[in-house]
Amino acid sequence: MKIKAIIFDWGRTLFDVDINKEYSDAEKILFYCKQKGYKLAIASLARANTTIEARRSQIEISSFFKYIDLVEVSDSKEKDEMFNKITQKLNILKEEILLVDDRVMKSIKYGNKNGHPTVWFQNGLFANELPNEDTGNPTFVIHSLLELKDII
């Protein structure tokens, strides 16, 4: 598997939305990925309690925004359109773009249906949201962001 780009989910993958704080390993793994030459993107859904502008601002003021090449934020219920935009902008084969998310029902499902390798960050609120016939199984499962080093 040759990975050239990684799309990260924001909420509960890089940023703990429950306590409004970056995960401690987020900057370390993004720095590592950038040093290795990967293109990095963030896909984030703005929920009812936040606007697209507020979520984008939250991402842009994070300590690790300097490592990010693309950010897509949407207020839709699904991430599919954001992933499509990011993959078009990256102009890289889908099988070379890794998706990392804490939700099996979001990125993992999309990735499996569209030919992307996927990483389920099995952590926090959705750690028990198990794969099913509709979502398919993630390519990899991690419990710490730093475990990505062993995958890429």
The bridge status of strand 15-16 relative to strand 21-22 is: antiparallel
The predicted-structure confidence for 84-131, as pLDDT tens digits, reads as follows 999 999 999 999 999 999 989 878 999 999 999 999 999 988 888 889
Where do the structural domains in the chain lie, given as residue ranges? 5-151
Is residue 71 scored above 70 in pLDDT? yes
Residue 48 above 90 pLDDT?
A: no
Of the pLDDT bands very low, low, confident and very high (cuts 50, 70, 90), residue 17 is: confident
Helix (H) / strand (E) containing 34? helix 26-35
Q: Could you give the CA distance from residue 107 to residue 43 in angstroms, rounded to a whole number?
A: 9
pLDDT tops 70 at residue 47: yes
Q: Which fold has domain 5-151?
A: Rossmann fold (3.40.50)
Stretch 65-80: mean pLDDT, rounded? 92
- Return the structure tokens found at 35: 């040093």
pLDDT of residue 120: 96
